[in-house]
Amino acid sequence: MQLNFRGLPALVTGAGKGIGRDTVKALHALGAKVVAVSRTDTDLVSLSKECPGIQTVCVDLADWDATERALGNVGPVDLLVNNAAVAPLQPFLEVTKEVFDRTFNVNLRSLVQVSQIVARGMIHRGVPGSIVHVSSMVAHVTLPNLSVYSSTKGAISVFTRAMAAELGPYKIRVNSVNPTVVLTAMGQKVLADPEIARKLKERHPLQKFAETEDVVNSILFLLSDRSASTSGSGILVDAGYLAS
């Protein structure tokens, strides 16, 4: 499936590491004009060297006002990937207000805010667009110590459908990708115990976790015209986990 995003303006959040970083690289290689948004400037500097010509924006997306200042006038965006997230581990009985607020602010509130900025721009310019939320299979199943994180992902499923319904008449499609574990920095932190990782992997029918590339390919498909009639959906990239 050869995709072409030549000249299309795209914005990716959480672009400094992991899935977001590889999404920027893929979009850049396929000709998109990418705005890479992340929290750590050194990550964005090294990404710029790998992808000459991208625009970078360094902001903590948990901060509503700073995000408005950084992205309020970001310019045209036709393709949006809401990927930034944090996954703190806390047993349900030990969930703190600080962790709850920060996780919801990064994973959910910033997704709403950035989507509003971008969708308003699309509607103002009268162009079609595609928005992809990077969610998780834990929107559908739970894993230990991830109740808050999983709740943000569950809420993303509802926002995906609500946004698809309200933005569809403007030719804006909204979908999510829902991966199982990917061994990025986040995945390695969540699955630091090798025995738990081994047992979890064995519960996947394909006997593996997902690769970053698998997730990026699904994101690219949903951004592209190849999914022109798909909106309000979530693609599982879960090595069959939910079928088991």
Binding site for ligand NDP (CB under 6 A): 14, 16-20, 38-40, 43, 60-62, 83-87, 106, 134, 136, 179, 181-182, 184-187
Residue 31 backbone zone (phi > 0: left; psi -120 to 50: alpha; other: beta): left
CB of 225 to ligand NDP, least distance (A): 24
d(CA 177, CA 170): 22
Q: Which is nearer to ligand NDP, 122 or 134 (CB)?
A: 134
Residue closest to ligand NDP (Cβ): 18
| Minimum distance from residue 120 beta carbon to ligand NDP (Å) | 21
Shortest approach of ligand NDP to residue 59 CB, angstroms?
Answer: 6
The C-alpha atoms of residue 12 and residue 195 are separated, in whole angstroms, by 34
Angstrom distance (rounded) from CA 225 to CA 22? 20
Q: Catalytic site residue 241?
A: no
The bridge status of strand 79-82 relative to strand 9-13 is parallel
- Compute the distance between CA of residue 9 and CA of residue 109 in angstroms, rounded to an integer: 23
121 residue type, one letter:
G
Active-site option among 5, 149, 159, 209: 149
22/78 with CB nearer ligand NDP: 22
Q: What angle do CA 32, 37, 39 make, to 5 degrees?
A: 155
**For residue 33, what is the DSSP state?**
E
Nearer to ligand NDP, 9 or 20 (CB): 20
Measured from the CB atom, is 172 or 190 closer to ligand NDP? 190
Closest separation between CB of residue 20 and ligand NDP, Å? 5
Q: What is the set of active-site residues?
A: 149
